[in-house]
Amino acid sequence: MELYMSDLHLGSPLFKSKHGVLDLLSQDFEKVVIVGDLFDMWEYSFDDILDKNREIVSKIQQLPNVVIVKGNHDPDINKLKEVFPNADVCIIHGFDDVVFVHGHEFDVLVTIYSWIVKMLFPIHWVLERFNINIKGWLARLFHSITAKKNNKYYNSLVLDIEQEAIKKYREKFNTIIMGHTHLPKHFTTEGIRYINLGDLLYHKTYCIYDNNEYNLHTLH
């Protein structure tokens, strides 16, 4: 049995799932894969984040078989390796017919228009204090509009990010597991299984792989 999770954003004031995550990590999993944005470096120093989240960090350090995929909110990969010397810290993790990638490389707001994100950050910061997820609201709005298009492909592959990820990896893998969008999904299209793990801020979702089956779950 394996555990896949992403987008904890340790360091964000919106992370309220400490005990649920600790309970989850205490279960007997053969492998744990954290698919990006374990940390959130936008507001506090890395040392402060580590100190405030030392129980979860310590728990991950003790795991016998853990993979950490770097996300866009994480510190640089060398710092991750320093904190988790026994983990497989990487940009992309692939084995057999499955690939784990955070997904921000397909997000134009991150790769091309990062200046817009930085400009809007003060607004995002204020809204977070009122527990308002503006990014999630915009994503759901886009999802709703796009899903109404009379196009079979778009009914499933709503976000350009998802389309680009599948386009890139479909030749080598038949299962793509991502985070980043904070929109939990699990569907198959044209022989490709796509799983988005969602997040542990708003949706509190994660995936368990057991007996050759992938199932999304929600923390309670």
Give the up-direction half-sphere exposure of residue 162: CA atoms within 13 A in the CB hemisphere. 28
220 found inside a domain? no
Residue 218 lies in a domain: no
Cβ(175)–Cβ(212) below 8 Å: no
Chain center to CA of 130: 23
Q: Give the global pTM.
A: 0.79
Residue 193 in domain: yes
- CATH number, position 30: 3.60.21.10
Residues 6 or more apart whose Cβ sits within 8 Å of residue 1: 28, 29, 30, 208, 209, 210
The helix/strand/coil state of 178 is strand
pLDDT at position 36? 94
Overall number of domains in the chain: 1
Q: Please work out, in degrees rounded to the nearest 5, the angle formed at the alpha carbon of residue 84 by the alpha carbons of 79 and 88.
A: 100
pLDDT for residue 123: 58
Within a domain: residue 219?
Answer: no
- What does the alpha-carbon distance between residue 64 and residue 173 come to, in Å, rounded to a whole number? 26
Would you say residue 31 lies in a domain?
yes
Query: For residue 92, is it within any domain?
Result: yes
Examine residue 198 and state whether it is found in any structural domain, yes or no. Answer: yes
Per-residue pLDDT of the chain (220 residues; tens, 9 = 90+): 999 999 999 998 889 999 999 999 999 999 999 999 999 987 789 999 999 999 999 999 999 999 999 998 899 999 999 999 999 999 999 988 999 999 988 765 544 444 444 455 565 555 655 565 555 555 444 444 444 444 444 344 456 788 888 889 988 999 999 998 888 999 998 889 999 999 998 899 999 999 999 999 999 8
Do 192 and 166 form a contact (C-beta atoms < 8 A)? yes
Full 3-state SS string of 93-158: EEECCEEEECCHHHCHHHHCCHHHHHHHHHHHHHHHHCCCCHHHHHHHHHHHHHHCCCCHHHHHCC
- Which helix (H) or strand (E) segment holds residue 21: the answer is helix 18-25
182 domain residue, yes or no: yes
Question: In this structure, what token pair is assigned to residue 45?
Answer: 């120093």
Find the domain containing 186 and state its range: 2-213
CA atoms of 9 and 65, how far apart (whole Å): 21
